[in-house]
Structure 1
Amino acid sequence: MKGILSIQSHVVYGHAGNSSAVFPLQRMGFEVWPIHTVQFSNHTQYKEGWTGRAFNAQDISDLVDGINNIGQLTNCEAILSGYQGSAEQCLAIKASVEKVKAANPNALYVCDPVMGAPDKGCIVAPGIAEHLINTLMPMADIIVPNQFELSQFADMAIESLEDAIKACQVALSKGPKMVLVKHLHSVSDEKFSMMLATAEGCWLAQRPHLPFDKQPVGVGDLISALFTGQFLAIGNAVEAFAHCNDACYAVLKATADRGEWELQTIAAQNEIVTPTERFELQAL
């Protein structure tokens, strides 16, 4: 039974981390093996706070070892990592990726390098950003940074489309084969922008902004999952990128239409597979 190992945060209520990624991947037809780096009652932007804790890094290693003991790492098609609760967890991710790739050299490693956004109430523990930049992102096949995370990895400011293209080229030179920038806020005020960069070129995806009183959380986790699943399904990065943009917009539209804050992945489940609205990519 082939599957995707998803090592991310988890919330009991709502949709962020694995709670945002696992169901869409399952709806796309994949078995998903989730390992939680933290378990919180809800995401961290609720003014009332949250409860829960980060897990020990050894828990990640132990669970991967358990899967290996039953001979299933050979069936792991991809490792998807997201929010990490400690610097030690980053090292456990590194070891886990190496173990999976030893069992299945064709397995992809997709790294969503969550470095935190203090303005949004998302804080990461000391040492995580450094491990992401120096260890996990260079060893990944695909990275899914936002504009800030890309600027940290490329070690340059991004203030224009041209800067973003250059930063992606720098990122590709450091190891990854693909860069999906999940949010490029400097490119347009009118539209939500994402970029895909590979050795073959760069593509820009844009979709309308939707009205929210409070911006939904877990969108980046959804983007990483949608792209990973579609790329595994069809093997074409550009087409997978277009699908990812379309399906993410459909989920957000369903969320806005219902006046909700939490992503409406269940309500929009059919759109995850076959989005109604399509947006053309721009080759750069």
Structure 2
Amino acid sequence: MKKVLTIAGSDCSGGAGIQADLKTFSAHGVFGMSVVTSVVAENTSRVIDYEDVSPELIEKQILSIYEDIGTDSVKIGMLSGEVTMRAVVKGLKEFKPSNVVIDPVMYAKNGCALMDPKSIDTLINEVLPLADLITPNIPEAEHIAGMKIENLEDMKKAALKIKEMGPGAVLIKGGHAEVVTDVLYDGMEFTLYEGKRINTKNTHGTGCTLSSSIAANLALGHSMKNSVGRAKNYIQNVIENALEIGKGNGPTNHFYALYKGGLEYVEELLTGNLTDS
């Protein structure tokens, strides 16, 4: 069985963070593991507070994984500040995992900051060069690239700028735009992934879920382009069947396809050959 590690914050309400990551891994039939970077007190409506795990304990969690089990891919989510970032960077440099997918979590769904703005230079200079793929949404890409994104051409320009910062590939998610188009740039060419806008407020944890799906698909041996495409199919399905839980932005339904038809059904969904009645 393929093994995938999430290094991220904990969402006690279960819709985002390591909880969403582990659900996504299980839905793809891979073995999920976690390194907790921060404990976040949040629900579907708001972030109440969060507390960072000490860098020493982050390093020991990473050591625990690699001295015993190892990984086939790694998803990295919430890194709240420089100290946390450098603890994770230390582990990545020491153990050199393959298929590192970084989701630069800067804000919660309700807009609450989850990354110290002063740490953006550390993210750019020390974290991004270790990524095989980075998956910012439009506001995050604007912060990283230092430019305003208003259309598809701006997304491509931002992807080019971010690619120059060192990651292997850049996926800018278009969920904040009118047309839901994601832009992948792998250093050679652009690939566009179009999707339909779904009329729902229940999108808590979609960024975590998408990046985790990509990491799971990379672990399963799919190419970067196909992993992103398969993850797009997965996220479309879990949003379409999102759960009415909580008073705010409810969670997606990570196990909808798995519960409906097992892993074979999930595979059909990911490859795009499924017409769901």
Q: Which residue is equivalent to 1:111?
A: 102
Supply the AA of the counterpart residue of 1:146.
N
Structure 1 match to 2:58: 60
Identity of aligned residues (%): 20
Letter in 1 for 2:61: L
SS in structure 2 opposite 1:22?
helix
Q: Which residue of 2 aligns with 1:275?
A: 269
Q: Distance in 2 between matches of 1:83 and 1:67?
A: 19
Q: Is contact 1:147–1:158 with CA below 8 Å preserved after alignment? A: yes
Separation in structure 2 between the aligned mates of residue 154 and residue 182 of structure 1, nearest angstrom: 14
| Structure 1 residue 133: Cα displacement | 2.0
Are 2:169 and 1:170 equivalent residues in the alignment?
A: no
Partner of 1:14: 14
Structure 1 residues 253, 150: closer, same or farther in 2, change over 3 A? same
1:91 maps to: 86
Aligned counterpart, 2:34:
34
Specify whether residues 199 and 142 from structure 1 end up closer, same or farther in structure 2 by C-alpha distance, changes over 3 A only: same
**Correspondence list, 1:194-205, <5 A:** 194-205=182-193
Partner of 2:34: helix, strand, or coil?
strand
Structure 2 CA distance for aligned equivalents of residues 123 and 69 of structure 1: 30
Residue 272 of structure 1: how far off its partner (Å): 4.8
Tell me if the contact between 1:248 and 1:272 (Cα under 8 Å) persists in the aligned partners: no
**C-alpha deviation, 1:277, in angstroms:** 9.2
Give the TM-score of the pair, scaled to structure 1: 0.82
Q: How many residues align?
A: 264
2:202 matches 1:218: no
Amino acid at match of 2:227: A
Q: Give how far 1:15 is off.
A: 1.4
SS in 1 for 2:180: strand
Q: How does 1:137-156 map to 2 (within 5 A)?
A: 137-156=128-147
What do residues 43-100 of structure 1 show as CA deviations (whole Å, max 9, x unaligned)? 4x525x6466332122110112233444x4xx32222210123321111110011122
Contact 1:58–1:92 at 8 Å: present in 2 too? yes
1:60/1:93 contact within 8 Å kept: yes
TM-score (norm 2): 0.84
Shift of 1:2: 5.2
Counterpart selection for 1:264 from 253, 256, 262: 253
CA-to-aligned-CA distance 1:33-52 (integer Å, 9 cap, x gap): 20111223544x525x6466
Contact persistence 2:73–2:216 (CA under 8 A):
no
Q: Which consecutive residues of structure 2, in runs of 5 or more, have no partner in the other structure?
A: none
Aligned twin of 2:229 = 242
**Residues 114-145 of structure 1, C-alpha deviations (whole Å, 9 max, x = no match):** 12269623442353333212221122121111
Deviation at 1:202, TM superposition (A): 1.0
Greater relative CO, 1 or 2 (CA 8 Å, sep 6+): 2
What secondary structure does 1:275 align onto? helix
Residues 1:206 and 2:194 aligned together? yes
Deviates more, 1:149-158 or 1:217-226: 149-158
SS of 1:76 mapped into structure 2: coil
Whole-angstrom CA distance in 2 between matches of 1:115 and 1:50: 16
Structure-1 separation of matches of 2:132 and 2:2: 19
* 8 Å CA contact retained: 1:113, 1:137: no
Match of 2:190, SS? Answer: strand
Following superposition, the deviation at residue 153 of structure 1 comes to 2.4
C-alpha root-mean-square deviation of aligned residues, in Å?
Answer: 2.6
Deviations 1:94-118 (A, max 9, x none): 00111221xx5xx222211112269
Partner residue, 1:227 = 214
